Amino acid sequence: MGETKPSDTFRFAGFSLDLRRTVLRDGSGGEVALRPKSFDVLRHLVTNAGRLVTREELLATVWPGVFVADESVTGCVAEIRRVLNDDGRMLRTLPKRGYLLEVEVTQEADSARQAMTTGSSPSLDRPVGSEAVAQPLAPPTRASLVVLPFANLSGGPEQDYFADGITEELTTALSRVRWFFVIARNSAFTYKGRAVDVRQVGRELGVHYVIEGSVRRAGGRIRIIAQLTETETGHHVWADRFEGTLEDIFALQDQVVEAVAGAIEPSLEAAEIGRTASKPTESLDAYDLFLRGLSRAYRLTRQDSDAAHALFCQAVEIDPSFALAKAYSVGHRVNRKAQGWSGPEEWAEGTEWARELLDPHQADPGVLRLAAIAIVHLGKDHEASVEAAEWALARNSGSAQVLLSCAWVYVFACQPDKALPLFERAIRLSPHDPAMAFMLSGVALAHFVAGDLEAACHWAERVVRMRPVWLPGRRALIGALMLLGREEEAREAAAAMKSLVPPDCSLEDVIPPFRDKGIRDRYIAALRAAGVPG
């Protein structure tokens, strides 16, 4: 390919890459923040769209003559996917080979636009029968909204976790109000750090309203500023400022929730919001530790997982009645067990804590949904798990996280007919979720349990492309391939997985606790026949 002129602009997937100004713009013309090296990686991928680009080629192009770790490329690719709202279908990772940007690209040089490289346009798979997540989504009939990540104005990135915690608390509180359709936290956080056009957000997420705001924490004081915008017109419906002491943080959150609800739906009764709002703990130290743990729990590395586990435990140690911290601790232990990062002592304590949280009078569905998935994965108690899932769904079936956890419970109970509709609804509520791989690995296993191995293989392949380090996705793919008779592919996939598996990991411990022993035995046998360690 010839040398690119400085004035060239490349257009793809609703974005434009301006090489002369070195900026990436979205469909509305707004500038999208991107680190310089990530921009250089994207430039090389765009100018080579439709062609496999090896990791070595990227290193030589973007970091010529400099030795850098492979993680530098991985980090840039992750940032590119985040800003493009890509779940791994547009920018594909081909294990041990490189990267492939599958989009149609057009090039503008000065005033002349000419066709350039054309990759095969990706067919958008429809997740479990729903609209494809990459397509614009029509808002539901009831009031729908997303709480975008609140900006941290506290003077340092180390305080991001606090602003993120406020955002998550507001999302959770608003999702409990049955009049609202609330986009899940994880999809909302794909917009973090970006200058966004609320009209574009409305189209991408299918919502009527966007809530934006900021948090400033100084000493013992806190200020929350929030505004509500209508996505169709960009009209500001409401804005307000809330100030108080850190001791009043929960009251401040409740005030913001009430104000937003009142602006959207004047007929809402304040008593409904007051009934659903709850103060998670009297200890601000425990709450701070909980938020710090939450900020690490969403990252899928052993180091972050260990840190999150320790922080959750410290929060519970300070306040043993802090149910939400205890629930997130046991829920996080499920992921740790599935990755082979924990042992029997941790599972036994998690089972004990989960049993303490299993209460039909528990008002918080977020506590119940985590207890439900923990009691079956850590303690193999299917009956208690399904019962707790039903309690959680009865309290809030409009939360993507509740739907996701309960869908997993039904997978473990070998009831795929109940699991798949819940996964579908969770994906609709969180269509751009960075944790989409967790959802789709559940979809894959639901199809596996149902006996549809082709579908299981299809969804598991997507999971491995999205999150190669998520071992349940790799196991689902290997098991489905092996039972389909594609033994060579299964063994290749097992060999590619070996470096990710801890040396003391046992298959008997880490595979899903399927209620049907026949399904469980067949799954283990397939994995072992393919050469999966453990």
Query: Which domain CATH number covers 29?
Result: 1.10.10.10
95-104 per-position pLDDT tens digit: 777 888 888 8
* Same-domain status, 260 and 156: yes
Interacting residues of 451 by C-beta distance below 8 A, sequence separation 6+: none
* Same-domain status, 149 and 246: yes
* Same-domain status, 112 and 185: no
118-156 per-position pLDDT tens digit: 233 222 233 333 333 345 666 675 678 898 998 888 877
451-488 per-position pLDDT tens digit: 999 999 999 999 998 889 999 999 999 999 999 999 99
Asked, for residue 216, whether it belongs to a domain, the answer is: yes
Question: What does each C-alpha distance from 392 to 174, 193, 322, 452 come to in angstroms?
Answer: 16, 32, 18, 29
Distance of alpha carbon 234 from the chain centroid: 27
Asked, for residue 308, whether it belongs to a domain, the answer is: no
* Same-domain status, 262 and 193: yes
Asked, for residue 416, whether it belongs to a domain, the answer is: no
pLDDT at residue 278, as a whole number: 52
pLDDT at residue 440, as a whole number: 93
Side-chain-side CA neighbours of 174 within 13 Å: the count stands at 33
168 within 8 A of 130, measured Cβ to Cβ: no
Token pair, residue 236, equals 């500001």
Domain extent at residue 44:
9-118
* Same-domain status, 20 and 89: yes
pLDDT more than 90, % of the chain: 34
Task: Evaluate if residue 274 carries a pLDDT over 50.
Answer: no
Write the DSSP symbol of residue 89: S
Question: What does each C-alpha distance from 371 to 165, 282, 337, 367, 387 come to in angstroms?
Answer: 21, 22, 15, 6, 11
Task: Evaluate if residue 270 carries a pLDDT over 50.
Answer: no
Q: Which residue has better confidence, 94 or 512?
A: 512
Asked, for residue 383, whether it belongs to a domain, the answer is: no
pLDDT at residue 280, as a whole number: 65
* Same-domain status, 186 and 264: yes
* Same-domain status, 105 and 206: no
Amino acid residing at 39: F
Give residue 254's pLDDT band: very low, low, confident or very high (50, 70, 90). confident
361 within 8 A of 391, measured Cβ to Cβ: no
Task: Evaluate if residue 2 carries a pLDDT over 80.
Answer: no
Asked, for residue 128, whether it belongs to a domain, the answer is: no
pLDDT at residue 206, as a whole number: 85
Interacting residues of 97 by C-beta distance below 8 A, sequence separation 6+: 52, 54
As a whole number of Å, the CA-based R_g of the chain is 23
Asked, for residue 58, whether it belongs to a domain, the answer is: yes
Q: What angle do CA 275, 237, 397 make, to 5 degrees?
A: 40
196-234 per-position pLDDT tens digit: 788 888 888 888 888 888 888 877 888 888 888 888 888
Number of domains in the chain: 3
Give residue 70's pLDDT band: very low, low, confident or very high (50, 70, 90). low
pLDDT at residue 232, as a whole number: 82
Task: Name the percent of the chain in helix, strand, coil, to the closest 5.
Answer: 55, 15, 35
Task: Evaluate if residue 260 carries a pLDDT over 70.
Answer: no
3-class secondary-structure state, position 113: strand
CB atoms within 10 A of CB 360: 10
Query: Quick one: 356 exposed, middle or buried, by C-beta within 10 A (0-12, 13-18, 19+)?
Result: middle
Last residue of one domain, picked from the residues 244, 259, 276: 276
Query: Quick one: 399 exposed, middle or buried, by C-beta within 10 A (0-12, 13-18, 19+)?
Result: buried
12-62 per-position pLDDT tens digit: 888 888 887 778 888 777 788 888 888 889 988 988 888 888 887 888 788
* Same-domain status, 14 and 114: yes
* Same-domain status, 109 and 155: no
Last residue of one domain, picked from the residues 244, 276, 308: 276
pLDDT at residue 345, as a whole number: 94
pLDDT at residue 136, as a whole number: 60
Quick one: average pLDDT of 234-242?
79
- How far the first Cα of the chain sits from its last, in Å, is 48
Token pair, residue 533, equals 């360690």
pLDDT at residue 412, as a whole number: 97
Give residue 357's pLDDT band: very low, low, confident or very high (50, 70, 90). very high
* Same-domain status, 87 and 178: no
Interacting residues of 363 by C-beta distance below 8 A, sequence separation 6+: 276, 278, 395
Asked, for residue 211, whether it belongs to a domain, the answer is: yes
Between 114-128, 279-293, 377-391, 414-428, the lowest mean confidence (pLDDT) is in 114-128
Quick one: average pLDDT of 243-261?
74
Query: Which domain CATH number covers 519?
Result: 1.25.40.10
Task: Evaluate if residue 329 carries a pLDDT over 50.
Answer: yes
511 within 8 A of 524, measured Cβ to Cβ: yes
Which ranges of 16-65 would DSSP assign to H, the alpha helix? 36-46, 55-62
Q: Which helix (H) or strand (E) holds 395?
A: helix 382-395
Average per-residue pLDDT for the chain: 81
User: Do β-strands 144-147 and 209-218 pair in parallel, antiparallel, or remain unpaired?
Assistant: parallel
Last residue of one domain, picked from the residues 231, 248, 276: 276
Quick one: average pLDDT of 313-333?
93
Number of helices (H) and strands (E) in the chain: give both, helices first.
Answer: 22, 14
391-443 per-position pLDDT tens digit: 999 888 878 889 999 999 999 999 999 999 999 888 888 777 777 889 999 99
Q: What is the DSSP string of 124-136?
A: ---GGGS--TTS-
474-528 per-position pLDDT tens digit: 999 999 999 999 999 999 999 999 989 998 889 989 999 999 999 999 999 999 9
Q: Which residue has better confidence, 185 or 131?
A: 185
